[in-house]
Amino acid sequence: MRNAIDVPTAHLRTLDDLPDVGGRRVLVRVDFNVPLDDAGAVTDDTRIRLAIPTLEALRARGARLLLVSHLGRPKGRDPRWSLRPIAAHLAGLLGEDVAFAPGLDDIPDGDLVMLENIRFEPGETTNDPALAARLGALADAYVNDAFGSAHRAHASTEGIVHHVGRSVAGLLFEREVRTLGRLLDDPERPLVAVLGGAKAGDKIGVITRFLEVADAVLLGGGMSYPFFAAAGLRIGDSLCDEAGLEAARQVLARPGTEERLRLPVDLVIADRFSADAELRVADPIDIDDGWEAIDIGPRTRELYARAIADAGTVFWNGPVGAFEIEPFAAGTYAIARAVADTHAVTVVGGGDSGAALVRFGLQDEVTHLSTGGGAALEFLEGRDLPGVVALTDGS
């Protein structure tokens, strides 16, 4: 990973603000919501690895750690969503034992303990004060290193802060806030945002925000198709719902949009969503019924790669095609390759774009790979994130 951007973050409490923790228990909220295969093995441990520096920093100060995370969205205690395999995976990465606590009433007295899925506990997602108080009573201090959950006011991300002696951000959490804050407030120019994904309606806030602060906004993937429809072009069976169409109309009506917004000039289209589909390039954009856009085309790849190469800062969130299927991966690979090769400061917004970097083996070729997902997008939109506010002086 390239060196992180180092700029001050006003008011956010960090590990430097944590008093002596030697021999004391610190509850660390981590984000180990990682994918597992059918056998329960971790298939992408990026989030686990990125949390290790915080764990090592606390251990070096003599802290005894209780790790708390969620996994999936279980309904009650569902063994399919147990954190046991993740505890075992972490033990392998650290080369030491990680004790496992099956519940709040059965926590081993060890130096490194992982609690079972916190969403097995009633009251976690409703930020129940009683659960928050129980969690706070388990530790002398609290460290939140789960920026990906910072947009949720849950018992383990916001409520616990009111029931523990000292609460601070971990190294990864701090880095996320610093990097994303710099992206908005003091980027190297030109700032180029590459925004993909499935639906324009889901990202209208971040599109609008970048149209205000970026020098160019490059759209791709399913979120670009409603813009063509709004402009009166034929898009065949391409993904386009009413919410996306309305979002596109709103964006196109904004003053200054034409100067900054870039749309694909050609698209790869298919007669069906399948690895063995018949493919064509729509250049110009004019798609018959029975065909759907599936990726950006070759001319768009070149234009977008050139804009990325000339940038001072690049933010990328969302694939520009269905990269999980080989025939539809070329566009997303071109973006990932350009982001990896540019000399610009590069911030990748996690989620599917982060998964694409990992698939292409480029995750270490960017300045910052965010674990934030939805939290990162809400932060960039300018929303107050409960998990961040809770770690801010005066909260």
Cα distance between residue 99 and residue 108, in whole Å: 7
Q: At what angle do helices 374-381 and 204-213 cross, to 10 degrees?
A: 50
Catalytic residue among 148, 170, 321, 351: 351
* Active-site hit among 29, 47, 64, 203: 47
Q: Which of 40, 201, 205, 374 is catalytic?
A: 374
Rounded-to-5 percentages of helix, strand, coil across the chain = 40, 15, 45
CB 171 within 8 A of CB 371: no
> Are the C-beta atoms of residues 279 and 269 closer than 8 Å to each other?
yes
Among residues 13, 199, 203, 301, which one is catalytic? Answer: 199
- Whether residue 75 lies in the annotated active site: no
72: left (phi > 0), else alpha (psi -120 to 50), else beta? left
Distance CA 206, CA 201 (A): 10
Q: Is 203 one of the annotated active-site residues of the chain?
A: no
As beta bridge partners, residue 348 has: 316, 369
Region for 369 from its dihedrals, namely left if φ exceeds 0, alpha if ψ lies in -120 to 50, beta otherwise: beta
Does residue 351 have an active-site annotation? yes
What is the number of alpha carbons within 13 Å of residue 16 lying toward its C-beta? 5
List the strands of the sheet with 267-270, edge to edge: 279-282, 267-270, 292-296
For residues 221 and 292, what is the distance between their CA atoms, to the nearest angstrom? 12
Alpha-helix residue ranges (DSSP H) falling in the chain: 46-60, 84-94, 129-137, 171-185, 204-213, 225-230, 242-252, 257-260, 298-309, 330-341, 351-359, 374-381, 386-389
Burial class (CB within 10 angstroms; exposed 0-12, middle 13-18, buried 19+) of 222:
buried
Q: Are 150 and 384 in contact (CB under 8 A)?
A: no
Across the strands, what pairs with 347? 315, 368
Q: Which residues are catalytic?
A: 47, 199, 351, 374
